[in-house]
Amino acid sequence: MAGWRTFLSIWLAQFDEVSWEWQAYYDVGDRVVVTGRHRGIAKLSRVPVEQALGVIYTLRDGLITRMQIFNGAADEALEALGLEK
């Protein structure tokens, strides 16, 4: 968990006006796939950034035990579990 918090704080420090728009959720047994978009404005360049993403959450006893992030290609998260959009 500490590693995730460190990663996320470093990532978020690079942007202003960060937002996520989650578009779809797929229940796949002990996993949940979430697809959406990440937006922000790069702090140094002031360039708007938008990126598609997919996340696979693996669950055990109601807790997230693993998270796989597919940056730039939300469909890859679906394909990794044999699903189609």
Q: What CATH number is attached to the domain comprising 19?
A: 3.10.450.50
Of 83, 21, 7, residue with least CA distance to 32: 83
In a domain, 85, yes or no: no
Structure-token pair, residue 53:
């993403």
In a domain, 12, yes or no: yes
The rounded distance, in Å, linking the Cα atoms of 59 and 24 is 18
In a domain, 57, yes or no: yes
In a domain, 24, yes or no: yes
pLDDT truncated to tens, each residue of the chain (85 aa)? 678 788 888 888 989 998 989 998 988 889 999 999 989 999 999 999 998 989 999 999 989 999 888 886 777 887 887 776 5
pTM: predicted TM-score of the whole model, two decimal places: 0.76
The rounded distance, in Å, linking the Cα atoms of 63 and 49 is 31
For the chain, first and last CA: distance in Å? 30
Q: How many structural domains comprise the chain? A: 1
In a domain, 37, yes or no: yes
In a domain, 70, yes or no: yes
In a domain, 25, yes or no: yes
The rounded distance, in Å, linking the Cα atoms of 14 and 47 is 11
Domain span at residue 11 reads: 2-80
